[in-house]
Chains A and B, each alone.
Chain A
């Protein structure tokens, strides 16, 4: 068997290893099985479209090593679906693989067998995994794997991959199938179809002749010129006794075969189990026309409020304990070892301070990830996409656009790539352009830092409001572009809804930990590095004698940032608060950098005070104090219920400083530099402006330079406008005229943008018309 690099396919084949490919409908559990086989922890989710690219890993079957390919979910080898399905289709049709492993969701076997019908016609070694047999049984269906194996002539392995059941049997079956591969038996198609396929396939060269005959008969547009006559003859033969279109007649044959085969292998008659009852009862409310969206918002609200309130109990402990160990203890050790002050302050203050900041936010962020993983695994997120469908269609988007948006809560980059599940190019561009407004986990650090200082009692609600603002802005963007530059109608979609599953604790904790680990490593690395650099670099600034060493407040960084302050003055940034501007400029590279820069500057500004803390350290007492904050904060857990949104504190700087209990220099400096209102305006700016360089790169790759540049400019403009409006109207009484002037200016700018986008839309439509006429 050929074992060589598949240069044309774009990825190098693992040298000398037998290769198996996991294929199946979306959300049938392929990635779970891939993780089981390879021991990796790729993201899985209880909704279709989690995997959008193929990935490869190695697995051991006893003493034998194999390569496992995980393909995006696919409904048909013949066409349809987004770019993700095209990836799977091309791989299965064109690349060398020793064994195709189709994963079937046993609870929806009839539908899954439609793909089997096509795979069988490929005539390549095949093995079937009958996954989720527990859910099928819960539906009152018992699938007989032996009967299915007998009918198809290929091995069938029953599994509950989510729980790891059947893995041993799968490994054994894979070994056996790789040693003696078996080709599937072709279905007994109706005689006229069989004859037409046979005759037509005989005219096509190559091993895939039979499959190509199917394809050309069903989708004639790709038929090569040389085969047009043979296709016409086959079509004439098939349509001699039928008025049906071949594009319907051939799929109809697969539907018949799937229904008949399922009837032979499924023993029904059992009663529907608790899962079915629960699904039916819950869906009556969760999928309700009018209640569905409010329920979704309520769930999201609860996630953030509970995460923040619950996280608050432990936040001070994490903050104070890590400050004691990483800053004071570490600094003390460095001093004892005779290190000079600048080394102590840059290592303990810069790196230690940065890590302290990241560690402080582990409780609320970890809880958020836990809840989101629970919702994803339970099957709720797929329903969120369903209920949002109507709202999405109003703004000209298909409902499955929500799937990338949900991914965007973690990181915008995979969310942008996730838009590949949308097969309509217009819908895909719109979905991609929405993603930068989704609050990623890097932004969560900034929200948390400000929430701890300014909205300690109601931080969860404020974070929820920011997330909601991001969603609203994303929908507004899609609506605006859908009505102007990207006019058209959303293509409808039928979405499979998975049953509700009680997620396993292991799976939820593992998923949350994966995200938290990435968050800690990525964010921690950046914040610590920036802190170190800002401590290490001597302040250099323009003085009357030219470029000279200065303190940080008179450095080039300060001078450059101060020059930009007037641009941000309408949103409440004052001249003294130049670190806020420096954070925004640096944060264009990555959002983690915003808080990293603030941390570095504030720590350096307070450098003198820090040294005293390193000289006299009572580590045990500090840890004891940190521990004491847990019961104290637990008592305050329900204090925020009386003021759900906590907006009463917006104008009160002193109250917020007192309430924050912020122990670190960074949080303390934040409290001195912002008011709650300017903090809110700043957070809105952070939410809406350029997400990060990686996201911009993903945007350019998916939709091109033009839309990427538009996204950057539009994001900055919107961020500035929203932050300015919030600050201006929040301080209306102090300067009513200025507020009206800024509002009018923003309205005019929005009007100009609208006109420009409409013009662009018309221009594109005219071009399209000319092309069609041409």
Chain B
């Protein structure tokens, strides 16, 4: 049976990385609106916190492992809307609880 998208979002964030909604959607191959709903749930539960990035380039550059200089599909795809600047991080205290 498939693992719930809600828990997949949690597990990804629990790994410690701070990620934008678009990055989560891309990594888990989920529609972004469902990721937004999942993030809303975890925010309401006090499990995640929002952080603002200072350098926008981090958003598009973080997940590309190739030497394509920004031209490949993997680099183009992360530049999704609404991901600019806003990232989510799992709260360690909440995890322990």
Chain B positions 37-75 with a Cβ under 8 Å from a chain A Cβ: 37-41, 43-45, 49-50, 52-54, 56
* Nearest chain A CB to B33 CB, angstrom units: 4
Contact B40 A110 (CB under 8 A): no
Contact B44 A111 (CB under 8 A): no
Which residues of B sit under 8 angstroms from A111, Cβ to Cβ?
31, 33-34, 36-37
* Nearest chain B CB to A119 CB, angstrom units: 16
Q: Kindly state whether residue A602 has any CB partner on chain B within 8 Å.
A: no
Q: Kindly state whether residue B82 has any CB partner on chain A within 8 Å.
A: yes
Contact B33 A288 (CB under 8 A): no
Contact A247 B45 (CB under 8 A): yes
Distance of A642 Cα from B46 Cα, bound (Å)? 53
Which residues of A sit under 8 angstroms from B50, Cβ to Cβ?
492
Q: Kindly state whether residue B92 has any CB partner on chain A within 8 Å.
A: no
Distance of A111 Cα from B38 Cα, bound (Å)? 9
Q: Mark A392-419, 1 if CB is under 8 A from B, else 0.
A: 0000000000000000000000000000
**B30, B34, B50, B56 — most chain A CB neighbours (10 Å):** B34
**Known contacts A247-B45, A279-B81, A494-B40; A110/B4 CB under 8 A:** no
Q: Kindly state whether residue B84 has any CB partner on chain A within 8 Å.
A: yes
A-B pairs under 8 A by CB, number = 86
Q: Kindly state whether residue B13 has any CB partner on chain A within 8 Å.
A: no
* Nearest chain B CB to A142 CB, angstrom units: 15
Distance of A260 Cα from B30 Cα, bound (Å)? 11
Which residues of A sit under 8 angstroms from B85, Cβ to Cβ?
287-289, 390
Q: Which size class do B's interface residues fall under?
A: 20 to 34
**Known contacts A280-B80, A288-B56; A251/B33 CB under 8 A:** no
Contact B33 A284 (CB under 8 A): no
Chain A positions 73-87 with a Cβ under 8 Å from a chain B Cβ: 75, 80
Contact B6 A251 (CB under 8 A): yes
Distance of A111 Cα from B45 Cα, bound (Å)? 18
Contact of A110 among B2, B31, B54 (CB under 8 A): B31
Contact B36 A494 (CB under 8 A): yes
Contact B4 A253 (CB under 8 A): yes
Chain A positions 237-268 with a Cβ under 8 Å from a chain B Cβ: 244, 247-248, 251-253, 255-256, 258-260, 262
Contact B2 A80 (CB under 8 A): no
**B10, B31, B85 — most chain A CB neighbours (10 Å):** B31
Contact of A288 among B6, B37, B45, B84 (CB under 8 A): B84
Q: Kindly state whether residue A497 has any CB partner on chain B within 8 Å.
A: yes
Q: Kindly state whether residue B26 has any CB partner on chain A within 8 Å.
A: no
Secondary structure type dominating chain A contacts: helix
Contact of B2 among A256, A287, A289 (CB under 8 A): A256
Q: Kindly state whether residue A438 has any CB partner on chain B within 8 Å.
A: no
Contact B5 A259 (CB under 8 A): yes
**Known contacts A247-B45, A253-B4, A259-B5; A75/B81 CB under 8 A:** no
Q: Kindly state whether residue A386 has any CB partner on chain B within 8 Å.
A: yes
Distance of A390 Cα from B1 Cα, bound (Å)? 40
Distance of A111 Cα from B53 Cα, bound (Å)? 26
Secondary structure type dominating chain B contacts: mixed
Kindly report which residue of chain A lies nearest to residue B80, judged by CB atoms. Answer: A280
* Nearest chain A CB to B3 CB, angstrom units: 8
Contact of A258 among B34, B39, B52, B79 (CB under 8 A): B34
Q: Kindly state whether residue A151 has any CB partner on chain B within 8 Å.
A: no
**A251, A253, A262 — most chain B CB neighbours (10 Å):** A251
Distance of A114 Cα from B85 Cα, bound (Å)? 27
Distance of A620 Cα from B41 Cα, bound (Å)? 69
Q: Kindly state whether residue A169 has any CB partner on chain B within 8 Å.
A: no
Contact A289 B34 (CB under 8 A): no
Which residues of B sit under 8 angstroms from A248, Cβ to Cβ?
6-7, 10, 41, 45
Kindly report which residue of chain A lies nearest to residue B52, judged by CB atoms. Answer: A390
Contact of A255 among B1, B4, B52, B80 (CB under 8 A): B4
Distance of A260 Cα from B40 Cα, bound (Å)? 20
Kindly report which residue of chain A lies nearest to residue B10, judged by CB atoms. Answer: A248
Distance of A510 Cα from B66 Cα, bound (Å)? 51
Contact A289 B6 (CB under 8 A): no
Contact of B30 among A108, A259, A386 (CB under 8 A): A259
Which residues of B sit under 8 angstroms from A259, Cβ to Cβ?
2, 5, 30, 34
Which residues of B sit under 8 angstroms from A494, Cβ to Cβ?
21, 36, 39-40, 43
Contact B33 A108 (CB under 8 A): yes
Chain A positions 253-302 with a Cβ under 8 Å from a chain B Cβ: 253, 255-256, 258-260, 262, 279-280, 283-284, 287-289, 292
Which residues of B sit under 8 angstroms from A262, Cβ to Cβ?
31
Kindly report which residue of chain B lies nearest to residue A285, judged by CB atoms. Answer: B84
Distance of A284 Cα from B82 Cα, bound (Å)? 8
**Known contacts A494-B36, A496-B36; A255/B81 CB under 8 A:** no
Contact of B41 among A251, A260, A283, A288 (CB under 8 A): A251
Contact A289 B7 (CB under 8 A): no
* Nearest chain B CB to A29 CB, angstrom units: 15
Which residues of A sit under 8 angstroms from B41, Cβ to Cβ?
248, 251
**Known contacts A108-B31, A492-B50, A496-B36; A255/B82 CB under 8 A:** no
Distance of A437 Cα from B78 Cα, bound (Å)? 40
Contact A386 B82 (CB under 8 A): yes
* Nearest chain A CB to B57 CB, angstrom units: 11
* Nearest chain A CB to B30 CB, angstrom units: 7
Contact of A114 among B7, B21, B37 (CB under 8 A): B37
Which residues of A sit under 8 angstroms from B21, Cβ to Cβ?
494
Contact B45 A287 (CB under 8 A): no
Which residues of B sit under 8 angstroms from A253, Cβ to Cβ?
4
Contact of B84 among A190, A256, A260, A287 (CB under 8 A): A287
Distance of A234 Cα from B80 Cα, bound (Å)? 42
Contact B82 A252 (CB under 8 A): no
5 A-B pairs with CB atoms under 8 Å apart are: A248-B45, A288-B84, A288-B85, A289-B54, A386-B82
Closest 10 CB pairs of A and B: A283-B81, A252-B4, A108-B33, A111-B33, A110-B34, A252-B6, A255-B6, A289-B85, A256-B4, A287-B84
A: which residues have CB within 8 A of B? Answer: 75, 80, 108, 110-111, 114, 190, 244, 247-248, 251-253, 255-256, 258-260, 262, 279-280, 283-284, 287-289, 292, 386, 390, 492, 494, 496-497
* Additional pairs, 16, CB under 8 Å, beyond known A248-B41, A255-B4, A259-B5: A110-B34, A110-B37, A248-B6, A248-B10, A252-B6, A255-B6, A256-B2, A279-B81, A284-B84, A289-B53, A289-B85, A292-B84, A390-B85, A494-B36, A494-B43, A496-B33
